[in-house]
């Protein structure tokens, strides 16, 4: 991919992802929000591909878009509340303005820091056999990720299985008929 | 290979994170609040992947993987809680859940 | 040898514990076995300690100091619980346990009908323990422990009939005044420790070597230079304690009120033993009193004034126990006068003989009260000699003894004190000798007054015709109930009723008369251990010689001076006797007197009223004001202010707790933005 194509694709993806993210919080209907979120997740997966994170991009689509968002949609349709319920007036109308201002300040401050702050330390890059690019070149993308996961983070990986088991049990207990 | 500066990706990440935050603050439907939280998590994931690529290290991707599983677990439990609240109150406006008011 | 004293201390304590815990369930005989037995054992050990001391020669070796255990070590301060056996403590222990045993025996009869029988004996044993601890301790700290405990025992026993408001009020008064004394003693101990670094008596320890430690206050005080202020403050603070415990002016007010307690208590605590603790303390620490030239004259002046003051009050009182109470105060004043003249053994001698005859007087009065069912007013008595022969004779002996008629015990000891005063007056130079001349004059005058009021009492109780109307039916334990006798209006009818009522009065049982007889014998011959200085034959003064290693030798007087002093006091005593016989010999007749001096003395110089007006009411007012201001205004107001401030703050603060989760999330976001902005600003 040429440099210009890369930059164009970045900007297209950035605009699209931000727009769909705004859709998540602006649509009144929860189903629309969920669909918008799925779009955002897909655009993020493309970002990951652009950054060479093949496995993560696939997992993003499979787990987020495939599993989690299906769960969301399921619950949304199950609990569909009338969005135009007159009783449901916003009791904190001023919070919208405050949140918007604070959000702008936050983005501005973070951008300022990112653009004007000290550049990242080059020495922090991995080198030699540690480097991801080398392992990818020798063994392939998925193998590189697997090595990192099971060499450095096997304990954390095992703990996630426990977390998931606990979450399943918790969901079962909460969802049971009282 | 021309590269896009890291800070651009990070700014996109910051934008997504802020949008998620504002969603949490202004929406009253807990499902959408949950979606906004997912948005925030994904913004962080983008930052992780960006820095993983920049630092040429797989560790960031591993973190993304862990965040994904934790997010999945969180969504499962959170949705179960929302469902059980809906069962008892027939209403899922977060502003109605204000029994802890001072 | 001093460890023998442990066996004097322990039995009464055990008796107190046994009776206090189990007394309620024990039968009467078991209570008496424990109470009498423990005091008897105590007496036997005191006697054997005394005899073993007598066996030691030469006299200066007659001392034994045993540390039983070490209570506390804190830096320089080492507090041992130690027992000191020397002639002084041996004498005191004999008096305490001996008289105490007799009064225990007597009490079995006097308290026979009281529901608190076991409680009474438990307290009495406790008192014996505390008093023996006081005299046998070998340092000032444990003396203070005993000092406080006898005050407690006195409080418990004065308030023994706690159903009576008067008794509890008297008990409270006694405790408060005693605590004033305890405070003085404490301050004296603190001063001694600060300046001499020890609280042990250190009697018989190594001699004073300047710059070394290890000897007690009595030796240390004599060799270390104390400032003139300190050397006056220490004895005066000690004397505050003595004045409170021994009822000297101005702290005497509790003793007459203490007569609310049972009569054996008055005999044991408030006449024979506890009130003499002050006399003992002055004798024990006399070295400290000689450090300052002003200490002893002040002691003497207070003692002399007290003696005369109390004697004038005693002249007018109608309650027989109150007469005896004021006479006790007066006699204690004598003892302090004797000690102030440097003749400490004279004070101890009078203490001993006084214990005999005053105990006898109180027990005799108790017998009369018991026989009359609780009647204490002299106007309701008279003519009892026909019905109570033993009491009559023993009481007569005691009255003769206290009036100083030879050869009874009081004569010798009182004579010893007066001679010592006159000797001191003539041997001193400077203006202070006029003080001693004055004290001698006071003593002689008081001797006459003593004979007068004692014979007034005697005639009032035993001579003439019976003026009362028979024994009260309800007994002395609750005698403050209103009398409900049938109305006897005419004088003639009253007398006729009286004459027949006399035959309803019976002599008290043997358990009460036996102690009376023993004490009468002691009051008769008890003086023989004392001063025969009149006859210029020093081997006839065994008590003086016995006490000399502890108390030092009294100044010797000229023979002519001694005869002069003795003659004067005897003349005054006989004069008092004569006046009493002229006025009251045919029976006591109470006449309302308008004489202002009489009214003044009859009302006890209005001391209680003045005290209430000048001391108690202002203090109460101050307390109420302070309570209203401090507690109501400052403390309550302050705490209300703090409370209101918090409630205001939280009324504002609780509005932050809106209950809206989104609102809380906003707070988090504000925090995050502030942190990020901090980095932006820091750059």
Q: What is the pLDDT of residues C543-566, one digit of tens each?
A: 777 887 777 777 777 778 888 888
DSSP per-residue letters across chain B: -----HHHHHHHHHHHHHHHHHHHHH---HHHHHHHHHHHHHHHHHHHHHHHHHHT-SHHHHHHHHHHHHHHHHHHHHHHHHHHHHHHHS---GGG--TT--
Mean pLDDT, rounded, for C485-497: 46
pLDDT value at C485 more than 50: no
Which of A8, A11, A21 to probe the B interface (max B CBs under 10 A)?
A21
Mean pLDDT, rounded, for C524-530: 79
- Which residues of A make CB contacts under 8 Å with C? 91-92, 95, 98-99, 102, 105-106, 109-110, 112-113
Q: Do B24 and C665 touch (CB under 8 A)?
A: yes
**Lowest-confidence region among B10-14, B48-52, B94-98:** B94-98
pLDDT of residue C146: 92
Half-sphere exposure for C167 (CA within 13 Å, toward CB)? 21
Of A102, A112, A113, the CB nearest to C669: A102
pLDDT of residue C494: 47
* Both tokens assigned to A178: 């009282």
Better-scored residue on pLDDT, C467 or C533: C467
pLDDT of residue C669: 92
Q: Which residues pair with C137 in a beta bridge?
A: C83
For the stretch C229-239, pLDDT in tens is 888 888 899 99
Better-scored residue on pLDDT, C611 or C49: C49
Mean pLDDT, rounded, for C501-512: 76
CA-based nearest residue to C340, from C243, C245, C254, C251:
C243
Residues of chain C neighbouring B24 (CB-CB closer than 8 A)? 662, 665
pLDDT of residue C85: 86
Neighbours of A48 (CB within 10 A): 26
DSSP per-residue letters across C465-485: ---S-S--TT-GGGTTSPP-P
pLDDT value at C675 more than 90: yes
Q: Where are the alpha helices (DSSP H) in A27-92?
A: 30-50, 54-59, 69-78
Residues of chain B neighbouring A178 (CB-CB closer than 8 A)? 87
For the stretch C184-218, pLDDT in tens is 999 998 888 888 777 777 654 445 544 444 456 66
Query: Where do the domains of chain C lie?
Result: 294-602, 608-682
Residue B29: closest C-alpha in chain A: A30
Mean pLDDT, rounded, for C667-678: 92
Q: Which residues pair with C65 in a beta bridge?
A: C84
pLDDT value at A18 more than 60: yes
pLDDT of residue B39: 93
Better-scored residue on pLDDT, C73 or B69: B69
Better-scored residue on pLDDT, C600 or B70: B70
pLDDT value at A44 more than 90: yes
Q: Which long-range contacts (CB under 8 A, 24 or more apart) does C651-656 make?
A: C653/B102, C654/B102, C655/B102, C656/B102
- Which residues of C make CB contacts under 8 Å with B? 653-662, 665-666, 669
CB A170 within 8 A of CB B80: yes
pLDDT of residue A14: 93
Among all chains, which residue has been given the structure tokens 């109501």? C632
CA-based nearest residue to A56, from C198, C402, B51, C238:
B51
pLDDT of residue C487: 43
Among all chains, which residue has been given the structure tokens 């003639």? C492
Q: How far apart are CA A106 and CA B18, in angstroms?
A: 7
Mean pLDDT, rounded, for A3-32: 90
pLDDT value at C156 more than 80: yes
pLDDT of residue C380: 79
Q: What is the residue-averaged pLDDT of chain C? A: 83
Task: Kindly give the pairing relationship between strand C77-85 and strand C64-74.
Answer: antiparallel
Mean pLDDT, rounded, for C449-471: 83
pLDDT value at C40 more than 50: yes
Strand (E) or helix (H) holding C40 = helix C28-54
Instruction: Tell me whether C665 touches chain A (CB under 8 Å).
Output: no
Q: How far apart are CA A57 and CA A49, in angstroms?
A: 6
The dihedrals phi and psi of C341, each to the nearest 5 degrees, come to -85, 10
Q: Which residues contact A47 (CB under 8 A, 6 or more apart)?
A: A13, A17, B9, B12, B46, B49
Residues of chain C neighbouring A113 (CB-CB closer than 8 A)? 676, 679-680
pLDDT of residue C484: 40
Stated length of chain B: 102
For the stretch C637-672, pLDDT in tens is 888 899 999 999 988 888 877 778 888 889 999 999
User: DSSP class of residue C137?
Assistant: B
Q: Do B26 and C662 touch (CB under 8 A)?
A: yes
pLDDT of residue A38: 92
Q: How far apart are CA C329 and CA C584, in angstroms?
A: 24
Better-scored residue on pLDDT, C465 or B17: B17
Of B21, B98, B102, the CB nearest to C656: B102
Q: How far apart are CA B30 and CA B36, in angstroms?
A: 10
What does the buried/exposed string (b/e) look like for A105-126 if buried means 16 or more CB atoms within 10 Å of the residue's CB?
bbbebbeebbeeeeeeeeeeeb
pLDDT of residue C3: 78
Instruction: Enumerate neighbours of C (3 or more CB pairs within 8 A).
Output: A, B
Of A14, A22, A125, the CB nearest to B56: A125
Residues of chain A neighbouring C660 (CB-CB closer than 8 A)? 91-92
pLDDT value at C244 more than 80: yes
pLDDT of residue C372: 84
pLDDT of residue C216: 64
Whole-complex ipTM: 0.90
CB C136 within 8 A of CB C53: no
Mean pLDDT, rounded, for C319-327: 90
pLDDT band per the 50, 70, 90 thresholds, residue C482? very low
For the stretch A93-150, pLDDT in tens is 888 888 999 999 999 999 888 888 776 677 777 776 677 788 888 888 888 888 888 8
Q: Do A72 and B19 touch (CB under 8 A)?
A: no
pLDDT value at A41 more than 90: yes
Q: What is the residue-averaged pLDDT of chain A? A: 85
CA-based nearest residue to A11, from A47, A45, A40:
A47
**Lowest-confidence region among A1-5, C157-161, C496-500, C593-597:** C496-500
3-state secondary structure at position A67: helix
What does the buried/exposed string (b/e) look like for C621-638 if buried means 16 or more CB atoms within 10 Å of the residue's CB?
eeeeeeeeeeeeeeeeee
**Lowest-confidence region among C122-136, C228-242, C576-590:** C576-590
Mean pLDDT, rounded, for C302-306: 91
Of C653, C656, C660, the CB nearest to B98: C660
pLDDT value at C483 more than 60: no
Q: How far apart are CA C90 and CA C569, in angstroms?
A: 31
* Longest CA pairwise span in chain B (Å): 59
pLDDT value at C479 more than 60: no
pLDDT of residue C513: 86
Mean pLDDT, rounded, for C124-146: 90
Better-scored residue on pLDDT, C484 or C185: C185
Of C662, C669, C680, the CB nearest to A113: C680
Instruction: Tell me whether C680 touches chain A (CB under 8 Å).
Output: yes
User: DSSP class of residue C377?
Assistant: B
* Both tokens assigned to C70: 């070490």
């Amino acid at each position: 991919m040429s440099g210009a194509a890369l930059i164009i694709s970045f900007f297209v993806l950035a605009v699209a992802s931000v727009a769909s993210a705004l859709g998540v919080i602006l649509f009144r209907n929860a189903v629309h929000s969920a669909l918008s979120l799925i779009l955002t997740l897909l655009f993020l997966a493309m970002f990951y591909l652009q950054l060479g994170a093949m496995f993560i991009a696939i997992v993003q689509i499979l787990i987020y878009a495939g599993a989690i968002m299906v769960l969301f949609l399921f619950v949304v349709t199950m609990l569909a509340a009338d969005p135009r319920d007159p009783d449901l007036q916003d009791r904190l109308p001023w919070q919208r303005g405050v949140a918007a201002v604070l959000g702008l300040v936050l983005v501005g401050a973070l951008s300022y820091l990112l653009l004007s702050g000290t550049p990242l330390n080059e020495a922090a890059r991995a080198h030699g056999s540690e480097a991801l690019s080398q392992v990818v070149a020798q063994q392939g993308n998925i193998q590189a990720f697997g090595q990192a996961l099971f060499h450095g983070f096997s304990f954390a990986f095992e703990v996630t299985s426990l977390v998931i088991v606990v979450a399943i049990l918790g969901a079962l207990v909460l969802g049971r008929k009282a | 290979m021309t590269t896009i500066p890291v800070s651009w990706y990070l700014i996109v990440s910051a934008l997504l994170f802020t949008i998620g935050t504002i969603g949490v603050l202004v929406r009253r439907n807990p499902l959408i609040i949950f979606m906004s939280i997912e948005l925030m998590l994904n913004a962080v994931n983008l930052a992780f992947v960006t820095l993983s690529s920049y630092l040429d290290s797989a560790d960031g991707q591993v973190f993304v993987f862990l965040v994904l599983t934790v997010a999945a677990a969180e969504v499962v439990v959170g949705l179960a809680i929302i469902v059980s609240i809906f069962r008892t109150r027939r209403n899922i406006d977060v502003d109605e859940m204000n029994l802890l008011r001072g | 040898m001093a460890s023998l004293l442990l066996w004097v201390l322990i039995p009464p304590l055990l008796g107190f514990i046994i009776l206090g815990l189990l007394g309620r369930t024990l039968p009467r005989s078991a209570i008496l076995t424990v109470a009498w037995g423990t005091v008897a054992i105590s007496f036997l050990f005191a006697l054997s300690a005394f005899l073993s001391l007598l066996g030691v020669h030469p006299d200066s070796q007659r001392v034994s100091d045993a540390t039983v255990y070490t209570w506390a070590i804190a830096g320089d301060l080492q507090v041992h619980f130690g027992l000191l056996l020397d002639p002084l403590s041996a004498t005191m222990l004999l008096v305490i346990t001996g008289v105490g045993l007799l009064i225990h025996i007597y009490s079995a009869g006097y308290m026979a009908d009281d529901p608190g029988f076991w409680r009474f004996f438990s307290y009495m044993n406790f008192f014996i323990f505390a008093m023996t601890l006081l005299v046998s301790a070998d340092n000032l700290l444990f003396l203070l422990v005993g000092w406080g405990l006898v005050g407690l025992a006195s409080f418990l026993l004065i308030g023994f009939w706690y159903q009576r408001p008067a008794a509890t009020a008297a008990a409270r008064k006694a405790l408060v005044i005693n605590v004033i004394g305890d405070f003085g003693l404490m301050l004296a101990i603190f001063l001694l420790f600060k300046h001499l670094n020890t609280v042990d008596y250190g009697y018989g320890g190594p001699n004073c070597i300047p710059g070394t430690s290890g000897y007690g206050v009595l030796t240390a005080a004599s060799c270390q230079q104390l400032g003139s202020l300190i050397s006056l403050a220490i004895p005066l603070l000690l004397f505050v304690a003595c004045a409170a415990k021994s009822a000297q002016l101005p702290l005497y007010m509790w003793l007459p009120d203490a007569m609310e307690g049972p009569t054996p208590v008055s005999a044991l605590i408030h006449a024979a033993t506890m009130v003499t603790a002050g006399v003992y303390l002055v004798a024990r620490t006399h070295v400290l009193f000689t450090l300052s030239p002003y200490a002893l004259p002040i002691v003497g002046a207070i003692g002399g004034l007290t003696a005369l003051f109390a004697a004038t009050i005693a002249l007018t009182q109608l309650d027989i126990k109150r007469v005896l109470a004021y006479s006790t105060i007066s006699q204690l004043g004598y003892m302090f006068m004797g000690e102030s003249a440097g003749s400490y053994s004279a004070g101890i001698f009078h203490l001993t003989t006084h214990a005999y005859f005053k105990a006898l007087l109180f027990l005799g009065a108790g017998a009369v009260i018991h026989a009359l069912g609780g009647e204490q007013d002299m106007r309701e008595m008279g003519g009892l000699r026909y019905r109570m022969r033993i009491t009559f004779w023993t009481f007569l002996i005691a009255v003769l003894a206290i009036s100083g008629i030879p050869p009874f015990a009081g004569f010798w000891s009182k004579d010893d004190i007066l001679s010592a005063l006159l000797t001191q007056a003539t041997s001193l130079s400077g203006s202070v000798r006029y003080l001693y001349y004055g004290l001698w004059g006071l003593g002689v005058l008081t001797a006459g007054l003593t004979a007068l009021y004692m014979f007034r009492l005697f005639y009032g109780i035993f001579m003439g015709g019976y003026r009362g109307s028979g024994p009260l039916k309800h007994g002395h334990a609750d005698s403050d109930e209103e009398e409900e006798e049938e109305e006897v209006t005419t004088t003639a009818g009253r007398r006729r009723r009286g004459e027949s009522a006399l035959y309803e009065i019976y002599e008290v049982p043997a358990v009460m008369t036996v102690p009376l007889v023993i004490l009468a014998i002691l009051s008769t011959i008890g003086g023989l251990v004392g001063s025969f200085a009149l006859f210029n034959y020093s081997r006839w003064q065994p008590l003086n010689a016995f006490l000399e290693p502890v108390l030092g030798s009294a100044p010797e007087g000229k023979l002519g001076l001694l005869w002069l002093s003795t003659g004067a006091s005897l003349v005054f005593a006989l004069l008092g006797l004569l006046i009493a016989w002229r006025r009251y010999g045919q029976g006591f007749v109470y006449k309302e007197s308008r004489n202002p001096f009489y009214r003044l003395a009859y009302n006890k110089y209005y001391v209680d009223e003045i005290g209430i007006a000048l001391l108690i009411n202002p203090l109460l007012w101050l307390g109420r004001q302070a309570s209203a201001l401090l507690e109501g205004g400052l403390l309550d107001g302050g705490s209300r202010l703090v409370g209101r401030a918090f409630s205001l703050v939280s009324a504002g603060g609780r509005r932050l707790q809106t209950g809206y989760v989104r609102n809380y999330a906003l707070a988090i976001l504000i925090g995050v933005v502030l942190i990020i902005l901090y980095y932006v600003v820091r750059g």
